[in-house]
Structure 1
């Protein structure tokens, strides 16, 4: 009986050991390589995980879209390595935190949302790692190639200047304090009384003393292109000594008074916006071309 018990235990141990060995081998066996990119394998499990992430995001490109994205990422990471770019785990964690902030949820909540949809957080981290690496490649290798013509910007900016944007001002702001907009209607009535009595910037502070919680702030020089369109249009129709209608702002009720007004065309701010737009468009095109060329040179094998 003792012998039988010994063999029974030994056999059980062998079976358990065999099962553990098989279980350990199962993940590797379950994964089959669908694509190889310059020797880097992309498995069906990676693709399936990315499809689940797509579904959570509302991306309907499915298996094909997931496969192509993973191919791009393999190429991007390889290019980053070639250029000496490394991405730390801390950078990836910071990226994950930023995603949760953008979604206005905690990081734990984000991870829970992923898990509920059957998405491992590592799937998102893999994509973040590739995105961070590619951003570094863009800054290092692509952005220096982007050039925007100043002559074209000057011509385009000049064509966009409206008549009301042709003035330079020295302004004062008169604020009737109403934190959070509380009591704004009453403060607007007081601001209108102030406006009726306003006789120019020199007496602006003295006039404000007759009102409770009214402040006069020196705004200084502003060109019309620096101001919101509605305010710039209103100021254009006023002379020196004029004051705008009351506007409710976060801190209360605001009016702007014109202390000086001169005809002046300043394209600086319009050019700045145009430069940003043109630069972004040019950069987007350059990035797409750069990646397309890398794909042409890559050895991509579909299994």
Structure 2
């Protein structure tokens, strides 16, 4: 499955510098293979869920994460990646990744609040509006687009809050202890100066999804792309 853009997982760092935090899962439906993710074995969340019923999927220090939260974040990620279509197995794996992301995100927001760091609604709205402009839409148009994609304005704003809260937390707790010496700066500048005029390469990934049914066609397409590069 193609990797998706998502919030970086910083749960390990949070656990080392935070007060004890906990997350527990609530059974719902049978879970597929975890694909190597560190998800509790008794986690059960998948199947068709009624979006109007907010049923607990995980509880993180009294904060409830529902199946609807997971589904809307999955839809948000797919929308941000061009509406990519996934097989049922890939969608289930993505749901597991999203659930872990939501747990991490919740822990980050909670730890930031414990450190008296609060992201105001105005800050969240300002960031949301910037995202809308990046999509060449007005905020109201973006909200409509998200709903039509199966996500919501609330899901995006929650992700924004988590990112802003954790960035501010790290700036307060970590950055004061990071020192960059003049010699390090000079070394980097010298290396950049020395590289002037030399060949540079811009590497990009080309991802081709393949299944047993179309693997030969995908292989032929890959060979054609190599010939054209």
TM interval, short-chain normalised: 0.5 to 0.7
2:62 equivalent in structure 1: 39
Displacement of 1:152 after TM fit?
Answer: 3.0
Report the TM-score when normalising by structure 1: 0.41
Superposed CA deviations along residues 194-232 of structure 1, whole A, max 9, x for unmatched, are xxxxxxxxxxxxxxxxxxxxxxxxxxxxxxxxxxx8xxx
Unpaired segments ≥5 residues, structure 2? 1-49, 85-90, 198-229
Q: Which has the higher contact order (CA 8 A, sep 6+)?
A: 1
Structure 2 partner of 1:71: 103
2:182 aligns with one of 122, 132, 150: 150
Kindly state the Cα deviation for residue 48 of structure 1 after the two structures are TM-superposed.
Answer: 1.4
Cα distance, 1:155–1:40 mapped onto 2, change above 3 Å: same
Q: Distance in 1 between matches of 2:146 and 2:189?
A: 46
For structure 1, the 5+ residue unaligned runs are: 1-26, 166-228, 230-303
Instruction: Mark the CA change 1:36 to 1:156 in structure 2 (over 3 Å): closer, same or farther.
Output: same
User: In 2 relative to 1, CA 154–105 (structure 1 residues): closer, same or farther, beyond 3 Å?
Assistant: same
Matched, 1:130 2:155: no
Which residue of 62, 65, 68 corresponds with 2:94? 62
Question: Does residue 121 of the first structure (1) align with residue 153 of the second (2)?
Answer: yes
Cα distance, 1:104 vs structure 2: 2.2
Aligned length: 139
Larger Rg: 1
- Matched residue, 1:104: 136
The answer to whether the Cα contact below 8 Å between 2:112 and 2:165 also exists between their aligned partners in 1 is yes
Inter-CA distance 86–156: structure 2 relative to 1 (3 Å threshold): closer
Shift of 1:29: 9.5
Say which structure is richer in strand.
1
- Identify the range of structure 1 (141-150 vs 89-98) with the bigger mean alpha-carbon deviation: 141-150
SS, match of residue 30 in structure 1: coil
**Pairing partner for 1:49 from 72, 75, 86:** 72
1:76-126 Cα deviation digits (max 9, x unpaired): 101111110112211111111110112222112211211211222111111
Contact 2:71 2:151 in 1 (8 A): no
On the 8 A contact 1:42/1:70 being kept in 2, the answer is: yes
Q: 1:145 deviation in Å?
A: 2.1
Shift, 1:140, TM fit: 1.3
Would you say the 8 A contact 1:48–1:63 is kept in 2? yes
Partner of 1:189: none
8 Å Cα contact 1:51-1:63 kept in structure 2: yes
